[in-house]
Protein backbone atom coordinates (compact mmCIF):
# COMPACT_ATOMS: atom_id res chain seq x y z
CA UNK A 1 0.00 0.00 0.00
CA UNK A 2 2.18 2.73 -1.41
CA UNK A 3 -0.10 5.67 -0.82
CA UNK A 4 0.09 5.02 2.91
CA UNK A 5 3.85 5.49 2.88
CA UNK A 6 3.52 8.63 0.78
CA UNK A 7 1.22 10.09 3.41
CA UNK A 8 3.61 9.07 6.20
CA UNK A 9 6.48 10.63 4.28
CA UNK A 10 4.56 13.92 3.98
CA UNK A 11 3.76 13.97 7.69
CA UNK A 12 7.37 13.45 8.74
CA UNK A 13 8.87 15.82 6.20
CA UNK A 14 6.33 18.57 6.87
CA UNK A 15 6.74 18.30 10.65
CA UNK A 16 10.48 18.80 10.26
CA UNK A 17 9.99 21.59 7.79
CA UNK A 18 7.79 23.53 10.22
CA UNK A 19 10.04 23.17 13.26
CA UNK A 20 13.17 23.86 11.19
CA UNK A 21 11.57 26.97 9.72
CA UNK A 22 10.61 28.26 13.13
CA UNK A 23 14.11 27.56 14.42
CA UNK A 24 15.42 29.72 11.58
CA UNK A 25 12.94 32.51 12.38
CA UNK A 26 14.02 32.53 16.03
CA UNK A 27 17.73 32.38 15.31
CA UNK A 28 18.24 36.15 15.38
CA UNK A 29 16.95 36.17 18.95
CA UNK A 30 19.45 33.47 19.93
CA UNK A 31 16.69 31.14 21.02
CA UNK A 32 15.93 27.61 19.85
CA UNK A 33 12.57 26.08 19.13
CA UNK A 34 12.42 23.83 22.23
CA UNK A 35 13.39 26.81 24.40
CA UNK A 36 10.62 28.85 22.77
CA UNK A 37 8.10 26.14 23.51
CA UNK A 38 9.10 25.91 27.15
CA UNK A 39 8.78 29.69 27.45
CA UNK A 40 5.27 29.55 26.00
CA UNK A 41 4.25 26.82 28.43
CA UNK A 42 5.56 28.93 31.29
CA UNK A 43 3.61 31.95 30.08
CA UNK A 44 0.52 29.73 29.95
CA UNK A 45 0.88 29.20 33.70
CA UNK A 46 -0.09 32.87 34.12
CA UNK A 47 2.33 33.82 36.85
CA UNK A 48 2.11 30.60 38.82
CA UNK A 49 5.38 28.64 39.13
CA UNK A 50 5.25 25.17 37.62
CA UNK A 51 7.44 22.09 37.90
CA UNK A 52 9.70 20.37 35.38
CA UNK A 53 7.13 17.61 35.11
CA UNK A 54 4.30 20.02 34.33
CA UNK A 55 6.37 21.54 31.55
CA UNK A 56 7.06 18.03 30.26
CA UNK A 57 3.36 17.17 30.15
CA UNK A 58 2.65 20.21 28.02
CA UNK A 59 5.36 19.69 25.43
CA UNK A 60 4.57 18.79 21.82
CA UNK A 61 7.13 16.07 22.01
CA UNK A 62 8.04 14.50 25.30
CA UNK A 63 11.61 15.15 26.15
CA UNK A 64 13.70 14.00 29.05
CA UNK A 65 15.77 17.12 28.79
CA UNK A 66 13.61 19.81 30.26
CA UNK A 67 16.24 20.42 32.95
CA UNK A 68 18.85 21.29 30.39
CA UNK A 69 16.52 23.52 28.40
CA UNK A 70 15.61 25.36 31.59
CA UNK A 71 19.36 25.68 32.30
CA UNK A 72 19.79 27.63 29.09
CA UNK A 73 16.75 29.82 29.71
CA UNK A 74 17.93 30.53 33.25
CA UNK A 75 21.40 31.54 32.04
CA UNK A 76 19.78 34.07 29.74
CA UNK A 77 17.63 35.43 32.56
CA UNK A 78 14.39 34.41 30.84
CA UNK A 79 13.17 32.15 33.66
CA UNK A 80 13.82 31.69 37.37
CA UNK A 81 14.12 28.38 39.13
CA UNK A 82 13.80 27.85 42.88
CA UNK A 83 13.21 24.85 45.10
CA UNK A 84 9.51 24.28 45.75
CA UNK A 85 8.92 24.77 49.47
CA UNK A 86 5.90 22.46 49.64
CA UNK A 87 7.59 19.51 47.94
CA UNK A 88 11.31 19.86 47.92
CA UNK A 89 11.76 17.28 45.18
CA UNK A 90 10.15 19.74 42.79
CA UNK A 91 11.40 22.95 41.25
CA UNK A 92 9.32 26.12 40.96
CA UNK A 93 9.94 27.51 37.51
CA UNK A 94 8.57 30.87 36.45
CA UNK A 95 9.03 33.12 33.45
CA UNK A 96 10.63 36.53 34.09
CA UNK A 97 9.53 39.87 32.67
CA UNK A 98 12.47 39.70 30.31
CA UNK A 99 11.15 36.32 29.14
CA UNK A 100 7.65 37.70 28.63
CA UNK A 101 8.95 40.64 26.63
CA UNK A 102 11.05 38.39 24.42
CA UNK A 103 8.05 36.12 23.81
CA UNK A 104 6.05 39.06 22.46
CA UNK A 105 8.62 39.59 19.74
CA UNK A 106 8.91 35.87 18.99
CA UNK A 107 5.14 35.48 18.71
CA UNK A 108 5.01 37.99 15.89
CA UNK A 109 7.76 36.18 14.00
CA UNK A 110 6.08 32.81 14.39
CA UNK A 111 2.67 34.14 13.46
CA UNK A 112 4.09 35.70 10.29
CA UNK A 113 5.49 32.32 9.35
CA UNK A 114 2.16 30.54 9.76
CA UNK A 115 0.03 33.23 8.15
CA UNK A 116 0.26 32.14 4.50
CA UNK A 117 -0.36 28.50 5.41
CA UNK A 118 -3.41 29.35 7.46
CA UNK A 119 -4.97 30.74 4.30
CA UNK A 120 -4.18 27.61 2.32
CA UNK A 121 -6.69 25.51 4.25
CA UNK A 122 -10.21 26.40 5.31
CA UNK A 123 -11.55 25.28 8.68
CA UNK A 124 -13.19 22.18 7.29
CA UNK A 125 -10.03 21.04 5.52
CA UNK A 126 -7.89 21.66 8.60
CA UNK A 127 -10.33 19.61 10.64
CA UNK A 128 -10.32 16.76 8.11
CA UNK A 129 -6.53 16.77 8.15
CA UNK A 130 -6.46 16.54 11.93
CA UNK A 131 -9.08 13.79 12.01
CA UNK A 132 -7.32 11.71 9.36
CA UNK A 133 -4.06 11.78 11.31
CA UNK A 134 -5.90 10.72 14.43
CA UNK A 135 -7.57 7.94 12.49
CA UNK A 136 -4.19 6.83 11.16
CA UNK A 137 -2.98 6.50 14.74
CA UNK A 138 -6.09 4.56 15.69
CA UNK A 139 -7.35 7.31 17.96
CA UNK A 140 -10.69 7.53 16.24
CA UNK A 141 -13.68 5.18 16.20
- How many of the chain's residues bind a copy of itself (CB under 8 A)? 41
Show Cβ contacts of residue 74 under 8 Å, excluding neighbours closer than 6 positions: 80, 81
96 scored as a contact of DNA (CB under 7 A): no
Q: Nearest Cα to 100, choosing from 73, 123, 124?
A: 73
107 scored as a contact of a copy of itself (CB under 8 A): no
Q: How far apart are CA 90 and CA 65, in angstroms?
A: 15
- Interaction pattern, residues 112-141, with a copy of itself; x per rule: CB under 8 A: --x-xxx-xx-x-xxxxxx-xxxxxxx---
- Interaction pattern, residues 25-64, with a copy of itself; x per rule: CB under 8 A: -----------------------------------xx---
Nearer to DNA, 7 or 84 (CB): 84
Beta strands in 1-141 (DSSP E): 79-83, 91-95
Amino acid sequence: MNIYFEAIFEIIRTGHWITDSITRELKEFDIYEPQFNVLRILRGAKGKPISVNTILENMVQRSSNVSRIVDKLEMKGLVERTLCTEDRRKMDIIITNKGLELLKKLDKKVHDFHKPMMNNLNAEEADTLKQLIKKLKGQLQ
